[in-house]
A and B are shown apart, each in its own frame.
Chain A
């Protein structure tokens, strides 16, 4: 790579010579936060964090494949799911219904956690990604490797159940 002033000149194959570790770090920066949030919303902080670590370890071992994917986050979400399902068979989200972690800010009604825990994991994850973390429908759909329309269905159903159970009015 040659540097001239503050510009950089390089051949295309030299651009690609950024080390594997550097490119992997860039991938992690891009996908880890939303992948973790999705898997934690689905399986809880403990299992979800483990699933992210597993998925990213798998991505490192298979980096050449992952790097060429159009949507690595969506694929790694499924890798993380596979990891969880190999170790346990997730049932109701007891980790969520059990109540807040000590020290948090819990200025919301206590019934919400129980209602979230009763949602199917896909609906809970969609609700949390879009309304809990503020991702757009497109971003959330890409994270879960599905189409925005599918994500919208999970979201609408999940929100509908939460509103019905918590007695939330439609007024904003």
Chain B
């Protein structure tokens, strides 16, 4: 009698057959084709509302409470342990009682704080934190308390080296800014979790300045997104390969004019674009940078205020 492995082999053989019989579509062919496809058919509004009402009635009649778990999508990956929350607390009011996802984007325009999901939904709002809280923190810690949430600055993580601080880790890699003096760190050191040799990431080609913080990418730390502060004050977000190899596109680092905020759960780097010379400042909003595709997506338009990635604690 054939077993499961026989069936798997046979299915792979069918897959090979179908691959051979199908025709790959090149980008050029797609661009030159007159599409006959249309958007997926949408249900009539009344149908959707009626269906929702019927289902809601059934649920209520059964006395069942359904709690929908909000997550960051099916591609959620480990974004590392949150920092210790420190300093001033600010309570914000959630849009609903649905649990917060594990991470998202926090905006503060000096008047109010808004917590967003990475797909742009406003999840909670409240009064602004004091600007010094935002400036001092590379990340915001959020504690979900049902209808409200408590926002605090993320404190420093325990650093693996005596001359290091701002440690961050994901599964596979821990990074910290090291060397020099506190407030003037010159190196980023990547510490592999498998006990491999720590690697100092090369930032020597940057303009004079210092490192402020660094985040390993959530794919096990293939890349590091770090914050470089130029001597005259302008911030630069620097994307480096953690293993010393080249980035896709053959550059060994990318330098964005702006602030390094961290990583979205889908593995895109989160950067607030701010062109900041010693004399002026131009806000370009928050963008997500896909390292593999070498493409950016605008996540928030200019004018959002100061942005940070928030991480849910607990």
Chain A interfacial positions (CB closer than 8 Å to B): 4-13, 15-16, 18, 21, 23-30, 32-33, 36-37, 40-41, 45, 48-49, 51-61, 67-68, 70-71, 75, 78-83, 86-87, 100-101, 104-109, 112-113, 116, 127-128, 131-134, 138, 141-142, 147-148, 159, 162-163, 166-172
Contacts and interface: CB of A to CB of B under 8 A. Distances in A.
A7 B18 contact: no
A168 B1 contact: yes
Contact of B35 (A32, A49, A58, A106): A58
Given A12-B258, A32-B25, A131-B12, A23 B293 contact: yes
Contacts of B275: 11
A16 B286 CA distance: 12
A55 B36 CA distance: 9
B287 to A, nearest CB: 5
Given A10-B256, A24-B30, A53-B23, 5 more contacts: A11-B284, A12-B271, A29-B293, A58-B38, A82-B40
B37 interface: yes
Q: Which 10 A-B pairs have the closest CB atoms?
A: A108-B10, A12-B273, A132-B15, A56-B30, A57-B35, A45-B21, A83-B37, A54-B37, A57-B33, A78-B40
A159 B12 CA distance: 14
B39 A79 contact: yes
B232 interface: no
Nearest to A62: B39
A21 B94 CA distance: 41
Given A28-B26, A56-B25, A8 B295 contact: no
What's the interface size class on B, roughly?
A: 35 or more
A37 to B, nearest CB: 7
A11 B250 CA distance: 18
Given A8-B251, A131-B12, A168-B3, A138 B75 contact: yes
Interface in B6-26: 6-26
B7 A162 contact: yes
A71 B73 CA distance: 10
Interface of B: 1-27, 29-31, 33-41, 73-75, 119, 205, 246, 249-258, 266, 271, 273, 275, 284, 287, 289, 292-298
A148 B75 CA distance: 10
A169 B2 contact: yes
Nearest to A129: B15
A83 B35 CA distance: 9
Contact of B12 (A12, A57, A75, A132): A132
13 contacts: A8-B251, A9-B254, A24-B31, A33-B24, A40-B18, A58-B37, A67-B295, A101-B20, A105-B13, A109-B2, A131-B8, A131-B12, A170-B4
A36 B21 CA distance: 11
A89 to B, nearest CB: 14
Given A26-B294, A82-B40, A15 B256 contact: yes
A100 B18 CA distance: 9
A83 B24 CA distance: 17
